[in-house]
Every structure is written in C-alpha cells, then in structure tokens.
Amino acid sequence: MTTLVDKSKVPWWVSNAIVPLVNLILALFVSGLFIFIAGENPIQAVQLIIYGSFGYIEGFAYTLYYATNFIFTGLAFAVAFHCRLFNIGGEGQAYLGGLGVFLIAFYFSFLPLPIVWLLAIAGSVLFGAAWAFIPAYLQAYRGSHVVITTIMFNFIASALMVYLLVDVIRDTNQMGPQTASIAKDLWFPMFKDITQLFGIKTRYSPLNISFFLAILASFFVWFLIWRTKWGYEMRAVGHNTRAAVYAGISPNRNIIIAMLVSGALAGMLGVNEILGVHHRVIVNFPAGYGFTGIAVALMGRNHPIGIFLGAFLFGILYQGGSEVTFDMPNISRYMFVAVQGVIILFSGALENLFRPQIESFFVKRLNKERTT
C-alpha cells in the first residue's frame, strides 16, 4: 500500500540526504551480492575500494582526477536540465571540446603561457558549445527532440573525430590515430609537480590543476542558475513554458542558451584530458564520462554541491574499482561497470522506491516529538 506523504512536512535533509544515502547503501549491498556470486569476498572488496581510493596519496589523486571529469559532465547535464532539456550529448560535446583545446594549444603555442591556457579553455568551451548548438537549434526552431538529436550527435562526433584523427590531424610520425603532442611547456602542472613544491615526493597521477577549474565551474553554474537573470529565465522556461511566454521570456532563446552552456561545460572535460593528461587528442578519450555525468547530475539533484559529491563517489568507484580488479582475479573490469549500473539504477531509475516509506517514517517521528 502506498502512503501519501505531505511533501511540505518532510525535512529537507530527509529527501536530500537520507533518501540518497539509503539508495546508495542498497546499491552497494546488491553490488556486494554480485561480488559474492563471482566468488570473492564483498567485505574485502569494499576494503580494497577504500584503500584504493583513499589509502595512499596517488590513489586519492586518481579519485579526484576522475571526479574532475564527472564534475564537468555532471554540471553540463544539470544546466540543460534546469531548462528541462535532456542533454545526452555530453560525450560528443566533450570529444569536440578536446579538439578545440588541442587546436589552440597546438597552433597558438607561440603566445605567452597563461594566455594560451585561457585561449585553450575558451577553445574547449567554444567547440563544446558549437557541437551542442545544432541539436539546440533543431529543438528550438524545428521541434526535433533534443534527446534524439544529442544521441545522434554523439555518433556523429565519434565518426568525425575518427576521420580527423586518421586523415587530417594525425601525427604522421605515428601509426596510431592520434595527433602530435602539444609543446611540453603548455602541459598543465600535475599533482606531483605541486606536491614537489612543498617538498613532498609523489609518483605519477593524472590529477592536475583542471580540478580547480572544475571547482570554479561549479561556482559559476550555481551563480548562473540561481543568481542571474539568465538562470532565472532558463528555470522559468523549464518549469512552465506557457508562463515564461506570458512574462515575455523566449523559450527558444533559453533552450539555445542552456544547451550552449551545457555543451561548453562538457567541452571543458577536454581541458582535463588534453592539457592535463594525454597532451594530444587520442581516439575516444571521453571514455564514457559524458554518460556517467548524467547519473552524477541526477544523483546530485542537479545542484553543484550534490554534483560534487556524486562526482566524488563515482571517482571512488572508478579508482577503487580498478584496484579491486587488479587484486581480485574473479572480478573483471566490466564488473565495475555493472556496479555503476546498479548505483545508477537505485539512485536514478528507482530513486523513489523507498522514498514514501522513509519520508513517512520521519514525518511520523517528528510529529510524535512535537506532540510529546
């Protein structure tokens, strides 16, 4: 039997903290079952995950590196979602964003340092936004649903990039479909370079200063959505298009703006991957971060703080997961894809599975406290 819960009585921390936490624990429990069936000890697996993602400094750095990517793609999804647009195209936008970073870093390398960096970031923003613009335009003025077009644009991006990497911008000294490397002095400072400044020696990890860019982007998104007229208009269109039209707010214009910002944020993943890690464009460098970003945003309730926490969690899973697959021969890499799937299932699709029960439990308890 379903119980109707009076939403206004549910304390915010129940719906925003307790419910996601219960969902997460449930997902981990089910994942534990998988691991058990696969013939390994789930408790040991959890220990490995925790050790792998927190236990040593490079592991922790890896966790934050993964989180950086998820923050960008999570924010990207969230911004579009505030205008009620499902931008599934983060993957393709990130791919093109990386191209933007590379082209500028490669061809404008003669400019002084911070300027090339800024321009390269601008390049990622521009290319990501441009790739999102076409679906946005089609949605706004032709009524083609953005979910369909952005999925299609992921495939187009992938095909386009393969073509470019094979036939146009390939490093001809190499066999593989990849570009030449950008100048070494343009590479983003890495975590180990920074710790070295403080006299601490660490081994390699892909974490770099893009992490700070991700934090900045989170602030930017919060400010944009809740503190500017543009965010206000996007939310208005998202909540009630008719009312927005009544108030003189153009839905079409806001669909375009929201998608441009969304594409730009997804494109910034290219900064982390190209300036920070690969220093060249390689085939399929976005590696699914664009899709996982959707889950991160949904888990984080499309709020930058939630997205940060969600990104961190997925960072732990990625990093801890690789540690597990390393140490447990029965657990394959795909096992952790399944674990992610279970988390997405419980915190996305089945988000409301236990919500009514949990909420009514707390409402009843609070009522009791009030009367006694």
Residue 133 or 232 having the CB closest to another protein = 232
Residue 10 backbone dihedrals phi, psi, to 5 degrees:
-80, 120
Could you report how far apart the first and last alpha carbons of the chain are, in Å? Answer: 28
Secondary structure (3-state) at 282: strand
- Residues 158 and 99: their CA atoms lie apart, in Å, by 12
Q: Which lies closer to another protein via its Cβ, residue 143 or residue 248? A: 248
Query: Which CB sits closer to another protein, 10 or 45?
Result: 10
CB of 78 to another protein, least distance (A): 16
d(CA 144, CA 136): 9
Complex with another protein: residue 14 or 111, whichever CB lies closer: 14
How many whole angstroms separate alpha carbon 330 and alpha carbon 355?
Answer: 35
Q: Tell the smallest beta-carbon distance from residue 246 to another protein (Å).
A: 5
CB of 352 to another protein, least distance (A): 18
Interatomic CA distance for residues 330 and 349, integer angstroms: 28
Q: Which is nearer to another protein, 44 or 352 (CB)?
A: 352
Residue 48, C-beta contacts closer than 8 angstroms, at least 6 positions apart: 320, 323, 324, 327, 328
Q: Please state, in angstroms and rounded to a whole number, the distance separating the CA atoms of residues 175 and 166.
A: 10
Nearer Cβ to another protein, position 184 or 242?
242
Smallest distance from another protein to CB 244, Å? 8
Quote the least distance from Cβ 363 to another protein, whole Å.
Answer: 10
Q: Which is nearer to another protein, 248 or 329 (CB)?
A: 248
Q: How many CB atoms lie within 10 A of CB 126?
A: 19
Asked if residues 283 and 110 have their Cβ atoms less than 8 Å apart, the reply is no
Spatial separation of the C-alpha atoms in residues 181 and 63, rounded to whole Å: 25
Q: Are the C-beta atoms of residues 272 and 210 closer than 8 Å to each other?
A: yes
Give the burial class of 7: count Cβ atoms within 10 A of its Cβ; 0-12 exposed, 13-18 middle, 19 or more buried.
Answer: exposed
Q: How far is the CB of 86 from another protein (least distance, A)?
A: 18
Least CB distance to another protein at residue 9 (A)? 6
Binding footprint of another protein on the chain (CB under 8 A): 1, 4, 6, 8-9, 227-230, 232-233, 235-236, 239-240, 242-250, 367
Q: Could you write out the three-class secondary structure of 87-129?
A: CCCHHHHHHHHHHHHHHHHHHCCCCCHHHHHHHHHHHHHHHHH
What's the closest the beta carbon of residue 224 comes to another protein, in angstroms?
10
- Nearer residue to another protein within complex by CB, 8 or 173: 8
